[in-house]
Structure 1
Amino acid sequence: MAAAAVKAQSGGVCVILLACVFILRQSLVQGAETYRRKLSVDINPNSTLDPPPGGDLLHVRAVGGNDTLHFLFCSQGAPTLLIVHTNTSSSTVKVNWPEFLAHNTSGSLTVEPQSSVLYSTAVVFSRLLEYDDVNNTAEPTSDFFPPYELQNFNWSRLSLNGSMALLCGADPTFRNGSLCLQLSVFDSEGRFESWPRLLHSANSSQVDVWLDGILPRSNNSRFLLELQSVGGAYPLSRVDVQQSIDDEFTPSIFKVSQWVSSMNGSSDVLGFVQWKPVAYRRPHPVLEDAMPCRHSDPQSQSGEATTASSSLIRAFYSKPEAMGLNVSFGLAGDPFYNKTMFLSWTMLVGVGSPPVDFFSPMIVTIMVVAMGTPMILLLVGGVCICLHKRKAASSATYEPIN
C-alpha cells in the first residue's frame, strides 16, 4: 500500500508540474512580442482618375523583415482579393490604368520585381445563390432562383478605416438591402472581439460577408455563396477539416475548415482560406443566433470565365487556374432568412500555414483540476491508510509471560 501511495504521489506531482510548465509557457508565449509587419494603405495606386470608373482598387502593403505581402482588393467586376508574397521588403505594385480599365489586357497589374514573387493566390466572390427550401431539408436541388452575379452588382466606393475596407453592393431587386464585404489586414497575431473570433496572424487577412435586408424571393429562402480560387500552378485545391475539443472562442463549434493550396499534394501549405462552419443571423449574435454552414467539394472551374468576371484576375494572371466551391447556410429545421433578414459569415485568407488554436490557460487549468483532483484524493487516502496501519502495528505489543 505504501508503494501505491508513493506511485500516486509521484504521478500527481508529475501532472501538476507538467500543467504548471504548460501554463507558464502559454503565458510567456502570449505575453511575448509577436511577429509584426509594417502596414501601408493606398487606394487606386498611381491612378490619375479620382475615382476611376467602375470600382476601386485597394492596396495594403505589409512589410516584414525580409519579405512583403501585397493585399489587393478590387470591386471592378466581381469582388476579388489577391495576395502576393515576395522575398524582398522593397517590392512594389505597378498598375497601367488605361489597360486595367479596358478589362482586356493581362499584365496591366504587376508586382515588381517580378522575380521576387514567391506565391500568389486570389479569391473571387462570384455569385450569390438562393433556393426555395419548401420542405425545410436544407438540401438545394432544383428549386434555385436565377443566381445573383456579383460582377453585375452596383458596388459602392470603398470605405476605409485604417487597414480595414468596407464594400457594399446590391442588385436592383434587393430594394433597400445589400451584400457587404469587409476586409481587415493585420500587422500581428490576434482576434476580433466579435464571433467567430478567428485567430489571425500577420500573414493573413479577414473577410466578413453579410446579407442585410435583402428581399428574399420566397418565404423559405436559403442562400449559398459561391467562391472561386485562382492561382498560378497551385490554386486552392482541397478542404481539410480539423477537429477540436475547445469551443472557448466560438461557442458550440468544434471544427475549422481549411481550403488549402499545396505543391503536388504535399503537406506543406502554400496558401489558405480558413473558416469556422458557422454563420450568424444577427449583427450582434448570441448563441441562439448561430447557424451551421457546409461547403461543397472544390471543383475545377473555367479560368476564362473567372477572368471575365474579375478585372483584377485578368490584370494579374496570364494563365489562371481556377477552383470553386459553395458555402451553404443553414441545416434542416433552422430558421429561414426572412426571420431576421440578416446573415453573416467570416473567413481568413492568407499565405503559408493557417493559424492554429492552442488551449488557453483557462482551459488547461480546468483540465488540470479535472485530472489532478482524483490523484490528490488518491494520494491523501493512501497516506492516511499507511499512517493508520503503522499506528496499529506499533500498538500491537506482546504481554510478558510470568
Structure 2
Amino acid sequence: MSVYHVSRHVTSSAARATTNMAARGSSPSLVFLFTVATLFSRAMTFRREVSMELNPGAPSQPSAGDLLHLRAVGDHDTLHFLFCSQGAPSLLLVHTNTSSSVLQVNWTQFEQRNITGGLRVEPESSVVYSTALVLSRLLEYDDQNDTATPPSGPASFFPPQRLQDITWSNFNLSTSELCDSTPCRSAKLCGSAPSFASGQLCLRLTVFGAEGRSLEWPRLLHSANSSQLELWLDGVPARAARSRFLLELAAVGGANPPSRTELRHSIDDEFTPSIFKEVLWLPQSNGSSQFPSFVQWKPVAYRETPPTLAAATSCGHSPPQRLIGQEVAAAAGLVRAFYLHDPQSFGLNVSFGQAGEPFYNSSHFLSWTLLIGSGSPPAEFLSPLVIVMMAVGLGVPLLLLLVGGACVCIRKRASPANYQPIN
C-alpha cells in the first residue's frame, strides 16, 4: 500500500509571466496592470489537499487489478476519485459534504467482482453524489472513402477490443510532469492484448489541488473540483491501411448521470491553437450552472507525442444513448462493487480523425484528453496578458486619434480671423 500527500502554496504561471515581462523591458504601466490582474486571479483560487493511496487496506497485492484512491479535501467537503483496472478501466467520483469521509473496501468481496457493497464511502449519509466513467471498447473501421464518418452498423467494424479483456499493468504513481505550479498527483496504467502485438493502450489520471492548466496540449483548464484523464494508443497495429478508431464510453450514476451533450464556444485559442469550442457531457439541467458531475473535452486529438499543431486531428461524438446498467456493472468491477442496485447508464462514442487528414497508420500513435469533475465545468476565458495586450493595442490608436483630433481643432481655432478668400 502506497500513500502520497501534497498540499502547498500555489504560484500562478501568470506571476512568472509578469516577471518575464519586466525582464524584457515592458512598460511599467503594462506590468502594473498585469500584476493587478494576476493578484486578483490568485486571490480567487480555491485549493484542495490531495492525497493518493494504492490498494487501500489490501492484505496483499490484488490479483484481479489495482484500485487507486485519490482524496481531494476541501474546507467542508471531499472529492473521492477511485480509478480501477479490475475489468474495464473505470473512474468513480464520489462527492461528500464533509472533510472527514473515508473509503472502506472489503477486499474479499471486491475481488470477486460479482458482489455489490464491497466498496463504500463512509459515513454513507455524507455522500452527496456519485458518478462513474467506464471505458468500454475500442472500435476500428476501414475508412476506404476517407470520409471519417463511422459506419452505422456493427457489421462494418472490425471485431471490437473490449477493454475489460486487456491485461493491465500495475499503476505507476508519480507527481505528474503535466502540472505547472499546481499541486497534483498522477498515476499511469498501460495495457496489452494479443491484437496489440508490441503496442499498448495507456491511461493517465491526474487530480489537481487548484485551478491551472497542464503543460502539454490541449492544455485543458482544470479546477480543484476536476480530474484529467489521458488516453493514448502507441504502436498498436492497424487492421487496415485506412483505419480510424472510436472509443466507447459509459457514464454511470444514481439519480442523474450525464445523459446529454452541449457544445460551448470560445473566442480565444491561446492555449489550444485553432480550437474554439469544447464538448460538455452533462446530467439533465436544473437551471443552475453547477452540476453534480460533468465530463468535458476539446474536440481534438494528436497523432504524435509530444503533441504539435501539425499533428492535431479532429474528434467527433455520437449522441448519448441509454445503456443497460447491469451490463455496464458486469464489465467494470468498480461499478459493481459500489452501486447496490443496477445504476442508470448512458453511453456515447468518440471518433478520431477528419476527412482528408492522415490515417492512424501514418504515425501509429493517437492521444486524447478529457476532464471529469463536479460543480461548474471550467470555462475558457481571456487571460490577463491577452486582456492587457488588447487594451494597449486598442487604446494606443484611440489615444493617437483623440490627440490628433484635438490638434486639428486647436489649429483651426488659431487661424487668422482676417483671411479673405480669393474670388
Flag whether TM exceeds 0.5 (same fold).
yes
Secondary structure, counterpart of 2:132 in structure 1: strand
Alignment correspondent of 2:137: 127
Instruction: Provide the rounded CA distance (Å) in 2 between the counterparts of 1:161 and 1:381.
Output: 60
Higher relative contact order, structure no. (Cα contacts within 8 Å, ≥ 6 residues apart): 1
Instruction: Provide the rounded CA distance (Å) in 1 between the counterparts of 2:124 and 2:308.
Output: 47
Alignment correspondent of 2:72: 62
Secondary structure, counterpart of 2:133 in structure 1: strand
Greater Cα offset, 101-110 or 224-233: 101-110
Alignment correspondent of 2:411: 388
Q: Does 1:362 align with 2:375?
A: no
Instruction: Provide the rounded CA distance (Å) in 2 between the counterparts of 1:398 and 1:137.
Output: 76
Equivalenced residues, count: 378
Deviations, residues 269-304 of structure 1 (Å, cap 9, x unaligned) = 221111111000111122111101111111111101
Q: Does 1:188 align with 2:210?
A: yes
Unaligned runs of 5+ in 1: 1-18
> Map of 1:114-193 to 2, 5 A cutoff?
114-141=124-151, 142=153, 143-162=156-175, 163-193=185-215
Q: 1:28 aligns with which of 39, 44, 47?
A: 39
The code of the aligned residue for 1:57 comes to L
Alignment correspondent of 2:16: none
Query: Aligned in 2, Cα 1:146/1:22: closer, same or farther, shift over 3 Å?
Result: farther
The code of the aligned residue for 2:97 comes to N
Alignment correspondent of 1:8: none
Alignment correspondent of 1:89: 99
Alignment correspondent of 1:303: 325
Instruction: Provide the rounded CA distance (Å) in 2 between the counterparts of 1:355 and 1:273.
Output: 11
Secondary structure, counterpart of 2:99 in structure 1: coil
Instruction: Provide the rounded CA distance (Å) in 2 between the counterparts of 1:362 and 1:41.
Output: 34
Instruction: Provide the rounded CA distance (Å) in 1 between the counterparts of 2:266 and 2:39.
Output: 23
Alignment correspondent of 1:286: 308
Deviations, residues 335-363 of structure 1 (Å, cap 9, x unaligned) = 00010000000001001111122211222
Instruction: Provide the rounded CA distance (Å) in 2 between the counterparts of 1:83 and 1:116.
Output: 14
Give the deviation of 1:377 after TM superposition: 3.2
Query: Aligned in 2, Cα 1:268/1:22: closer, same or farther, shift over 3 Å?
Result: farther
Alignment correspondent of 2:336: 314
Alignment correspondent of 2:52: 41
Alignment correspondent of 2:119: 109
Instruction: Provide the rounded CA distance (Å) in 2 between the counterparts of 1:183 and 1:164.
Output: 6
Secondary structure, counterpart of 2:140 in structure 1: strand
> Is the Cα–Cα contact under 8 Å of residues 268 and 380 in structure 2 kept in the other structure?
no
Give the deviation of 1:308 after TM superposition: 0.6
Deviations, residues 290-322 of structure 1 (Å, cap 9, x unaligned) = 101111111111101100100000011123110
> Map of 1:68-87 to 2, 5 A cutoff?
68-87=78-97
Instruction: Provide the rounded CA distance (Å) in 2 between the counterparts of 1:246 and 1:35.
Output: 24
> Map of 1:207-246 to 2, 5 A cutoff?
207-246=229-268
Instruction: Provide the rounded CA distance (Å) in 1 between the counterparts of 2:395 and 2:91.
Output: 48
Q: Does 1:269 align with 2:282?
A: no
Deviations, residues 36-85 of structure 1 (Å, cap 9, x unaligned) = 21122111111112x11110000011111111111100000000000101
CA RMSD of aligned residues (A): 1.9
Alignment correspondent of 1:13: none
Give the deviation of 1:371 after TM superposition: 2.9
Deviations, residues 213-257 of structure 1 (Å, cap 9, x unaligned) = 001000000001111000000100111111111111001100111
Query: Aligned in 2, Cα 1:150/1:398: closer, same or farther, shift over 3 Å?
Result: closer
